[in-house]
Chains A and B, each alone.
Chain A
Amino acid sequence: MAEHFVPVEDPPSAGLGTPPVIAPGYTFGTVTDKISAIVLTRKTPRGWYVGFGIAFLLTMVLLVSVSYLLVEGIGIWGNNQPVGWAFEITNFVWWIGIGHAGTLISAILLLLRQTWRTSINRFAEAMTLFAVACAGLFPALHTGRPWLDYWLLPYPNTMGIWPQFRSPIMWDVFAVSTYATVSFLFWFVGLLPDLATLRDRSQSKVGRFVYGLLAMGWRGSARHWHQYDTAYLLLAGLATPLVVSVHTVVSFDFAVAIVPGWHTTIFPPYFVAGAIYSGFAMVLTLAIPIRAVYGLEDFITTRHLENMAKVMLVTGLIVAYGYTVEAFIAWYSGNAYEGFMIWNRITGPYRSLYWALLFCNVLTPQVLWFRRVRKYAPGLFVVSLIVNVGMWLERFVIVVTSLHRDFLPSSWGMYRPTIWDWGTYVGTIGLFVALLLLFLRFLPMISIFEMRTILPAAKVDEDVREDLRVI
């Protein structure tokens, strides 16, 4: 559409003091160019190919594991009596938890008018989508007869059979699918104006066509912007309670059951906090290398890292409180089963995992009290990795150590993951990374139009505002 198009530079809007969350000297144009260039013009870094190669191989591992699972049955995993749920549910909860950061950053921080969210929300949301996709795989595959999973959907059928809505698993089905849908809408609506930008800046026919198709003919009309803002705010308002509800419902899977170690009222808040905790850890794990590779330090500044570190510190403390209360109540309630459960965690066969989780989730984040650490990217990276591991261990401890020794000593047993358990888990990590890399390559990882709004030049002068107010 723009054959004789000549980009025109406008003078840098200097002298207006350093913007909080973006390096000085950027204009509408440069911001646009820098971010869209990653997708449109810049050469894909070698690191991307290496990373994608590895991720792709891991995805193949997933494929093999799943195929064999479908051929043979759940028996290829280590699950048994009494441990009916193990790796698969651990991974499910872990992924779902990770998936919480995205919506949280986009929605809650938006409502809280946290401008610093702008440069990280886009790929945080993408991460959410991919994490939820990985999470969804596990409950879908862990059933004995996965090809019948659709029976969990309330659809009219000739036999007049309906699902059993009292089951937390049904709640899961609705919560997770709702969450996936809303996250996607939120993400896509956010992308719309940027897709228009890519459409207008793309040099290739294909690019113009594809981006144009996705942009739906967005043209930045003031009236559209008006509806758009309303919609975006409403979505944020809806996503906020949703994101809280999702992990609450996931925690119901356990809290509603009678198994000692599951049947606990503290689970909802403590699961939500844990989710945010792991979510931010994962955002850091991803953001730090990405900003290094693509040289985005100007957009994702130490300010961002520090804020996220603070969030982690807070949620980490909430989680630690959760652990404490769990143990305290077990003792205080005087319930023999609860008491044994916690004692078994601390001293039983799986104790090493329990202690490891305390180290990862409670001890490690304490270093975030120090500003120097919060500002030191490599340090944060390590911390975030440790927390990711810790949160996985937490879920494993909750799921397995509660089940393996429940009420009747005659049925106590042990669980050991098989190579297929590992294959499926590692496979989903591969899938996750692969999807993320594709996203980085073909879509703007930072919301361009929102970056424009936080430029000083985006402000409308006072006097003009004044005479608007006259009428």
Chain B
Amino acid sequence: MTPNPEVPNPYVGGDRSREVSDPGSRLPREEWWRTLDELADDPAFRDRLYNEFPSEIEAIADPVARRTFLKLMGASMALAGVTACTRQPAEKIVPYVRQPEEIVPGRPLFYATAMPLGGVVTGLLVESHEGRPTKIEGNPLHPGSLGASDVFAQAAVLGLYDPDRSQTLTNLGDIRPWSAFLGTIRAALSAQQPLKGAGLRLLTESVSSPTLAAQIHEALERFPAAKWHQWDPASHDNARAGAKLAFGEYLDAQYLLDGADIIVALDADFLACGPGALRYARDFSARRRPERADRMNRLYAFESMPTSTGSRADHRLPLAPREIERTAHALAAAIGIRPADSATALGVSPALQKTLTAVAKDLQAHRGASLVIAGDGQPPAVHALAHAMNDALGNVGRTVVYTSTVEAAPVDQAQSLRDLVADMNAGRVDLLLIVGGNPAYTAPADLKIADAMAKVATRVHLSLYDDETSALCHWQIPEAHFLEAWSDGRAYDGTVSIIQPLIAPLYGGKSAHELLAAMSDRPERSGYDIVREHWQRERAGGQTAGTGASRPAPPRPEFDQDWRRWLHDGVVPDTKLAAKTVTVRTDAIARFEPGANRATQSGVEVCFRNDPSTLDGRFANNGWLQELPKPISRLTWDNAVFVSPAMAERLKFDNTPSWQGGEHGQILASVVEIRYRGRTVKGPVFPLPGHPDNCATIHLGYGRTRAGHVGTGAGFNANAIRTSDALWSGAGGEIVTTGDTFSLACTQYHHLMEGRGMVRAVTRDEFEKNPRSIHEGHEEPARTMTLYPEHQYEGYKWGMSIDVNACIGCNACVVGCQAENNIPVIGKDQVLRGREMHWIRVDSYYRGPADQPETYFQPVPCMHCENAPCEPVCPVGATVHSDEGLNDMVYNRCVGTRYCSNNCPYKVRRFNFLLYQDWNTPSLKLMRNPDVSVRSRGVMEKCTYCVQRINAAKIDAEKADRRVADGEIKTACQQACPADAIIFGDLNDPKSRVAQLQAETRNYSLLADLNTRPRTTYLAAVRNVNPELGD
């Protein structure tokens, strides 16, 4: 795994930054490790973690240094402490649900908090064992979660305990105390006082935290000439601009999918990413149940890169982004909000035009119950058109509502960053505070931000990792993880959550609030005081969030109860943003010219997208996410240049499974060079069925040079060719093959069903005519076909039902399972050999032509077969059946013959071929779930239906002398699932959800003809196709 030569070196031009040390480079690249085991062996890392007496010890003579030394002692003691126990935050934090205030050893407590990402927060419940946060779930009371969570939330625990996190405050690589930094910053600020802060710049990501916003405003009041810039590479600039176009002001659109019968997605992956995705997925899948056909919705997707949303669509048309823009115009024309005559001028093909007519007809037939959604990747015009269409279709207020923005201060972030760079280049910036984010890596290449930053006298960076930006800054301040710090934020609908810490900062990090406090007149205030005082003021001074008076109001007596209630519930009541009545500037929209904003229309169109695993690169050092097979492509540890199979054919690109791992491991991909707007980047090519032709998609978030031991050097850096004028896609690219090959770790390369009917799918008509049509051509042996008497299961009889029709392939279940069950990360090399350890995997299958296939997701956990083929072949009885029908795996009895795995037709068993678990790294020990044994080398493992959760619930039930109620036990995968596709329960209870689902006609068993009698069964997919368009 060699880093991409095209990755721009962050040190170039940074004259002073040359002095900044790069601990990462102490190791030669090729030796850089990918599994957490080796991580612990890395000497550089071991110093940092175990070194009780840091190397600065020789400087002890000098009094200043002695203070430093003492601080360090403190720090390393704290770290040593990390191995043994953890410290609860000093302040009062409140456990969720009725649990004893004091911790009962062995009983986890649940705390409500929230995770900020991309300008919104998602409410979470965090499981804490004796003060160690070990597992994250969604908060059922939170509108943006309803109990579900996404991969990033699930993986946040590993992010918290990541030993690669920035652990010490450094100045040019030397460890310094917080006080030293305070000294510097105060000095720099007082120098700014006379200038009114003209030389002061603040760069943040999208801010939804009312408190932070208030603090910033406070600071800007003290320094009127200072400027606040925002840059979030995963930004919604186009949506903002689109709203401005349509309504003349920044507004947020919130979709009410439960009311939508017809949905049109214009390159919008609303089910899997962006604000509210979890909620949207829940609402969407709730209306995909053919048993209630009258309520079944229909989704048309026009998209480029195949996404979860596209794969759920009843009609999906692969189109390059610029074609989607034309399509949007044509659709608008068909609906009649722009002159119809110009439809031909739009240059959409007759076939597409026919489709659009049908779609328009469908939309108009469902006025007020239809919805058009535009994706962030689409230019503002398309968003404006979408708003106009929704307006024209009478959907506003019904399926979509518009509110003032969740972000405290929405701006055109690309422009904002451009201005900052301009100021820096002009030498107008003396003090640059970068609060979070990693602009040096994420900024578009054309801005050359590294050079610009070099011209700033004092550069301060607050971040979780000592990353590319840190390398360009004088001061690196370790940021407190959101599980370590007090803060707040707004959900996609504006609902405020207080973010309460689960654990005191492991590495003494500081939160953004504490950093900004340093600019105020009360620098030493704790995050807790800042947040709490802010809300005290809010309550005192009414509902005007975002602006705050500098003076704290006298506390109201009932505030304490409110505060407790907010922390307990994880939401602040009545903070949802009110819907606004809007008027669309139809006349302006009617005058849009498609592609007006595109420089050139020729050549290959290059699309930039956030990576499903690493997003914009902020999660690049998270092993769980790196090893997570991306939806559909099932690619791990790398990004790739996604093109259509036809294009790969045409350009003679070659992707072949190797002899090592093959389709289930190593793909040898030809490396191509993308030439785009005078810049080039090299990357492995990956043909993806359903990807539009003459168009290439590359994901951000890879090619990091200072991500940490896990993320550094993985993939190639798409930012190297990304330009600020076309953030998401631009034409004029060129792709040439280099002749090199690169090995990609891909866990599934064969997506055809070979007529084995793993996923059964019919159209809605077929299903209504004959529900049994699902089972046609699939035999299932009669239960009497056996020599042996049937085994009776009294008491509980656990089973699971997975709805293929609902699954959006978001992978939340996979990471959720990994977090719950202490599943190790094995690294790219082992994945290449086809040894990944996930207990549940999301297979994806294609049906139909390669250029426009139907895509289906199939989560596959252990089937817990009643006639489990794995059991009779085990010589030592290490895998046997429990009397509740669980296929138990007895780790400490297993000698590792792997016979069970060979004999498992579902291949859900996972073997510890080597010592995959990290037994050394202290912080990772904290992370583990104490209720699940940590498997060592040579042992087989697999899905247990979360037996630890089953037993916990059974113990409670037995204490209360009752049966376990339906829904009381949720498996980790079920709990994470936003689409409600996984249901677990007791099959002996006819009223349980799972029993009812398994009684449905749609219910079928995987490989039923083998007579394994799985307890996990599937609900077939039913596609609600538009009869006019056929199948």
Do A259 and B907 form a contact, CB below 8 Å, given A144-B940, A161-B877, A414-B657?
no
Q: State A404–B858 Cα separation when bound (angstroms).
A: 21
Cβ of A416 within 8 Å of any chain B Cβ, yes or no, is yes
Q: State A151–B899 Cα separation when bound (angstroms).
A: 16
C-beta contact mask, B346-363 vs A, less than 8 Å → 1, else 0? 000000000000000000
Q: Is the CB of A84 within 8 A of B911?
A: yes
Cβ of A366 within 8 Å of any chain B Cβ, yes or no, is no
* Smallest beta-carbon distance B933→chain A, Å: 15
Q: Is the CB of B843 within 8 A of A163?
A: no
Q: Is the CB of A75 within 8 A of B875?
A: no
* Smallest beta-carbon distance A256→chain B, Å: 7
A144: chain B residues at CB < 8 Å are 894-898, 911-913, 937-940
Pick from B657, B662, B834, B897: contact of A143, CB under 8 Å: B897
Cβ of B659 within 8 Å of any chain A Cβ, yes or no, is yes
A81: chain B residues at CB < 8 Å are 664, 834-836, 901, 907, 909-911
Q: Is the CB of B903 within 8 A of A258?
A: yes
B909: chain A residues at CB < 8 Å are 81
Q: Is the CB of A145 within 8 A of B750?
A: no
Closest A residue, CB atoms, query B909: A81
Do A148 and B660 form a contact, CB below 8 Å, given A75-B835, A166-B872?
no
Do A72 and B914 form a contact, CB below 8 Å, given A410-B748, A414-B661?
yes
Q: How large is the interface on B (under 10, 10 to 19, 20 to 34, 35 or more residues)?
A: 35 or more
Cβ of A65 within 8 Å of any chain B Cβ, yes or no, is no
Q: Is the CB of B898 within 8 A of A409?
A: no
* Smallest beta-carbon distance B785→chain A, Å: 15
Q: State A412–B660 Cα separation when bound (angstroms).
A: 12
B665: chain A residues at CB < 8 Å are 80, 413-414
Do A84 and B914 form a contact, CB below 8 Å, given A404-B662, A413-B663?
no
Cβ of B342 within 8 Å of any chain A Cβ, yes or no, is no
Q: Is the CB of A413 within 8 A of B664?
A: yes
Q: Is the CB of A152 within 8 A of B748?
A: no
Q: State A335–B937 Cα separation when bound (angstroms).
A: 38
Cβ of A82 within 8 Å of any chain B Cβ, yes or no, is yes
Q: State A167–B869 Cα separation when bound (angstroms).
A: 11
Q: Is the CB of A414 within 8 A of B658?
A: yes
Closest A residue, CB atoms, query B835: A80
* Smallest beta-carbon distance B188→chain A, Å: 54
* Smallest beta-carbon distance B1008→chain A, Å: 12
Q: State A152–B893 Cα separation when bound (angstroms).
A: 11
Which A241-263 residues have C-beta < 8 A from chain B? 253, 256-259
Which B254-291 residues have C-beta < 8 A from chain A? none
Q: Is the CB of B659 within 8 A of A409?
A: no
Interface 9-mer from A168-176, A206-214, A294-302, A439-447: A168-176
Q: Is the CB of B902 within 8 A of A164?
A: no
C-beta contact mask, B755-779 vs A, less than 8 Å → 1, else 0? 1101000000000000000000000
B894: chain A residues at CB < 8 Å are 144-145
Cβ of B222 within 8 Å of any chain A Cβ, yes or no, is no
Q: State A142–B897 Cα separation when bound (angstroms).
A: 7
Do A74 and B897 form a contact, CB below 8 Å, given A256-B873, A412-B663, A414-B663?
no
Do A145 and B939 form a contact, CB below 8 Å, given A164-B875, A168-B873?
yes
Q: Is the CB of A82 within 8 A of B664?
A: yes
Cβ of A200 within 8 Å of any chain B Cβ, yes or no, is no
* Smallest beta-carbon distance A312→chain B, Å: 32
Q: Is the CB of A74 within 8 A of B938?
A: yes
Cβ of B1007 within 8 Å of any chain A Cβ, yes or no, is yes
Closest A residue, CB atoms, query B906: A408
Q: Is the CB of A75 within 8 A of B902?
A: no
Q: Is the CB of B659 within 8 A of A408?
A: no
Q: Is the CB of A257 within 8 A of B873?
A: yes
B663: chain A residues at CB < 8 Å are 409, 412-414
Cβ of B965 within 8 Å of any chain A Cβ, yes or no, is no
Cβ of A282 within 8 Å of any chain B Cβ, yes or no, is no
Cβ of B753 within 8 Å of any chain A Cβ, yes or no, is yes
Q: State A259–B894 Cα separation when bound (angstroms).
A: 22
Q: Is the CB of A73 within 8 A of B659?
A: no
Q: Is the CB of B873 within 8 A of A411?
A: no
Q: Is the CB of A416 within 8 A of B659?
A: yes
Which A43-89 residues have C-beta < 8 A from chain B? 72-76, 78-82, 84-85
Closest B residue, CB atoms, query A403: B902
A228: chain B residues at CB < 8 Å are none
Q: Is the CB of B659 within 8 A of A414?
A: yes
Q: Is the CB of A85 within 8 A of B902?
A: yes
Cβ of A220 within 8 Å of any chain B Cβ, yes or no, is no
Cβ of A407 within 8 Å of any chain B Cβ, yes or no, is yes
Q: State A75–B830 Cα separation when bound (angstroms).
A: 9
* Smallest beta-carbon distance B753→chain A, Å: 7
Do A412 and B750 form a contact, CB below 8 Å, given A144-B895, A256-B873, A336-B755?
yes
Cβ of A340 within 8 Å of any chain B Cβ, yes or no, is yes
A256: chain B residues at CB < 8 Å are 872-873
A338: chain B residues at CB < 8 Å are none
C-beta contact mask, A224-249 vs B, less than 8 Å → 1, else 0? 00000000000000000000000000
Which A339-372 residues have C-beta < 8 A from chain B? 340, 349
Q: Is the CB of B876 within 8 A of A151?
A: yes
Q: Is the CB of B914 within 8 A of A73?
A: yes
Q: Is the CB of A82 within 8 A of B876?
A: no
Pick from B661, B843, B875: contact of A410, CB under 8 Å: B843
B845: chain A residues at CB < 8 Å are 409-410
Q: Is the CB of A259 within 8 A of B903?
A: yes
A151: chain B residues at CB < 8 Å are 876, 893, 895
Closest A residue, CB atoms, query B842: A410
Do A152 and B875 form a contact, CB below 8 Å, given A73-B914, A80-B834, A81-B910?
yes
Cβ of B443 within 8 Å of any chain A Cβ, yes or no, is no
Q: State A85–B902 Cα separation when bound (angstroms).
A: 8
Q: State A168–B755 Cα separation when bound (angstroms).
A: 32
The 6 closest A-B pairs by CB, nearest first: A144-B896, A144-B938, A414-B662, A413-B664, A75-B913, A84-B898
Told that A167-B873, A409-B752 touch, could you supply 9 new A-B pairs with CB distance under 8 A?
Answer: A74-B914, A81-B664, A143-B897, A145-B937, A151-B893, A169-B874, A336-B755, A407-B905, A410-B750
A interface residues with partner B (beta carbon < 8 Å): 72-76, 78-82, 84-85, 142-145, 148-149, 151-152, 161-164, 166-170, 173, 253, 256-259, 336-337, 340, 349, 403-404, 406-416
Residue contacts A-B, CB under 8 angstroms, 30 given:
A73-B912, A74-B911, A75-B835, A78-B660, A80-B664, A80-B835, A81-B834, A82-B901, A85-B898, A144-B895, A144-B912, A144-B913, A145-B939, A149-B895, A161-B876, A164-B874, A169-B897, A170-B875, A256-B872, A349-B659, A403-B902, A407-B756, A407-B1007, A408-B758, A408-B860, A410-B750, A410-B860, A414-B657, A414-B834, A415-B659
